[in-house]
Amino acid sequence: MTIDDAGPALTKMVNDLLLACYGMRFTVEIQTQRALASGELREGFEILVHDADHDSTKAVTVMSGGQKAWINECLTRGIALYLASNAGRPTRPCSATSPMVRSIRSASCSSCG
């Protein structure tokens, strides 16, 4: 399975985690192609983060340390959930009171001081 195939499902899982952990502020978009000046598309990889509070979009690589920690926690766990679901392991839906969400909140809060 390629990143192109995984992109939509992985994006949904990460966005579900972000919503459960931090509300509607952040959403991610995983881009697997980039446009060249000629208009031709090439394979690439970039994670864009939309910040609803500031009505802005930027690459996860240029985010502030605390915000990047929040996004990375959800990305890491979203990837783990995606891999587990594709391996046939049962996964549970994410809710604001689930142990995973509490763990992400706890890790993120200690990361951002």
In angstroms, rounded to a whole number, what is the distance separating the alpha carbons of residues 46 and 59?
A: 7
Q: Which amino acid is at 7?
A: G
In angstroms, rounded to a whole number, what is the distance separating the alpha carbons of residues 113 and 100?
A: 20
Q: What is the pLDDT of residues 16-46, one digit of tens each?
A: 999 988 899 999 999 888 888 999 988 888 8
In angstroms, rounded to a whole number, what is the distance separating the alpha carbons of residues 49 and 31?
A: 11
In angstroms, rounded to a whole number, what is the distance separating the alpha carbons of residues 57 and 38?
A: 24
What structural domains and CATH numbers belong to the chain? 3-35+43-105 (3.40.50.300)
pLDDT: is 55 or 94 the higher one?
55
2 has pLDDT over 80: no
